[in-house]
A and B are shown apart, each in its own frame.
Chain A
């Protein structure tokens, strides 16, 4: 029975395609004006026409209950693209879903018109239309959210890469300038890349600079201690630099012991110590005569 109602719906869509498009566009333009109104009308019209076209194609193929079926693939793809692009333009999920939901009013009006004296068909066809549009509307929200999550994941990945450059300051001296939060995932990578670089370059000294780390709590301290210990096992000494006054006071109150580790207030101080250890000195060039 629901099969026949969906056929009815397909017929209505096909019969009133032109009118539906105009009414729907009218609805969307009102919405767009109330909102940010950045969408161009031409673009919107093209999107609406394309969607109605695809919807009609899928509706003719039948199966309204399973939106995951093959017949609906073009509709889903179109909505996915639309949702993604709107998401990137900064639309909220509800603004995006409105694209689909605002089609309800025009379709319901047409259904009412067709089944003016047939209450049963009216109710059933309306229900079929509601189910269909709700499904599609929710789909846009899902895609929207997924697109956002992808952005977040990508940014997290970028952050991980951003924060782990090990640089060579001199023959046998490496520096690791740390920036931002030291949580487990990042510290793991930082530690690995430092140890790796110590092997590659055969360096005996590594300066870990924490000027860019806003908070040093016990977990951060523990990570630092582990890194220093691991480097020591490989025969390299670490110097920790960039310990600002507020960090020093906090570490003291926390009760973290950094004894046995050379620490310096600035990277420059640490570099001077490191140069001294490798038997180098920095001297001023003789003034030109």
Chain B
């Protein structure tokens, strides 16, 4: 598997979520994802970007175009140095939120993508990696 293109964006204020969505849309179109897939990836990116601001005190997202043999994919890595998540299982439970949202963002993002990996250490920050294969 090789990374054919990559870029990083800052996520600091809520307007940055819009910029992340726009960038992801552009990349997804370039890779030839269908409209449904584009919308899924963009929505997942939107959820995680907002989490990065609301719960991670801001961070970055790394976009990567992947080529693995015949298949192509788009990988997004969200990084923050916020307080971290103590109980990842709980955070991934539908309807659970430590804030004021619907509690579906993280679990929803997992369902919208092909691969989902989350690593978090309390006091250290959180890293969420999502990939969608075409």
* Interface positions of A (Cβ within 8 A of B): 181, 183-184, 214-219, 221-222, 245-247, 249-250, 253-256
Q: In whole Å, how far is B87's beta carbon from the nearest beta carbon of chain A?
A: 19
Q: Given the complex, which residues of B lie within 8 Å of A247, measured CB to CB?
A: 39
Given A249-B40, A254-B104, A255-B104, the answer on whether A215 and B112 have CB atoms closer than 8 Å is no
**Interchain residue pairs A-B with the least CB separation, the first 9:** A254-B108, A246-B39, A217-B46, A246-B36, A253-B111, A218-B102, A218-B104, A253-B112, A255-B104
Report the Cα distance A272→B64, complex, angstroms: 46
| A255 close to B111 (CB less than 8 A) | yes
Q: Given the complex, which residues of A lie within 8 Å of B36, measured CB to CB?
A: 245-246, 249-250
Residues 17-34 of chain B, each 1 if its beta carbon lies under 8 Å from chain A, else 0: 110010001000000000
| B40 close to A218 (CB less than 8 A) | no
Q: Given the complex, which residues of A lie within 8 Å of B101, measured CB to CB?
A: 218-219, 222
**Apart from A218-B108, A246-B38, what are 8 other A-B pairs with CB-CB below 8 Å?**
A183-B14, A183-B18, A216-B43, A222-B102, A246-B39, A254-B111, A254-B112, A255-B111
On chain B, the number of residues with a Cβ less than 8 Å from chain A's Cβ atoms is: 25
- B35 at the binding interface (Cβ < 8 Å): yes
| A217 close to B43 (CB less than 8 A) | yes
Main secondary structure of the interface of B (DSSP, over half): helix
- B81 at the binding interface (Cβ < 8 Å): no
Chain B residue at minimal CB-CB distance from A220: B46
| B14 close to A184 (CB less than 8 A) | yes
Q: Given the complex, which residues of A lie within 8 Å of B94, measured CB to CB?
A: 255
Report the Cα distance A218→B94, complex, angstroms: 12
Q: In whole Å, how far is B23's beta carbon from the nearest beta carbon of chain A?
A: 13
Chain A residue at minimal CB-CB distance from B49: A217
Report the Cα distance A200→B111, complex, angstroms: 43
Report the Cα distance A219→B105, complex, angstroms: 8
Given A249-B36, A253-B112, A254-B112, the answer on whether A215 and B107 have CB atoms closer than 8 Å is no
| B14 close to A221 (CB less than 8 A) | no
Report the Cα distance A255→B43, complex, angstroms: 12
User: Which residues of B40-97 are within 8 A (CB) of A?
Assistant: 40, 42-43, 46-47, 50, 94
A-B contact pairs, 20 of them (CB 8 A): A183-B14, A214-B25, A215-B46, A216-B43, A217-B43, A217-B46, A218-B101, A219-B105, A222-B101, A246-B39, A247-B39, A249-B40, A250-B36, A250-B40, A253-B108, A253-B111, A254-B104, A255-B104, A255-B108, A256-B102
Report the Cα distance A184→B17, complex, angstroms: 12
| A217 close to B40 (CB less than 8 A) | no
| A217 close to B111 (CB less than 8 A) | no
The residue in A216, A249, A253 that gathers the most chain B C-beta atoms within 10 A of its C-beta is A253
Chain A residue at minimal CB-CB distance from B94: A255
Report the Cα distance A245→B39, complex, angstroms: 10
Report the Cα distance A215→B43, complex, angstroms: 6
Q: Given the complex, which residues of B lie within 8 Å of A217, measured CB to CB?
A: 43, 46-47, 50, 105
Q: In whole Å, how far is A97's beta carbon from the nearest beta carbon of chain B?
A: 26
| B102 close to A215 (CB less than 8 A) | no
Q: In whole Å, how far is A56's beta carbon from the nearest beta carbon of chain B?
A: 45
Report the Cα distance A249→B37, complex, angstroms: 10
Report the Cα distance A216→B35, complex, angstroms: 14
Q: In whole Å, how far is A116's beta carbon from the nearest beta carbon of chain B?
A: 53
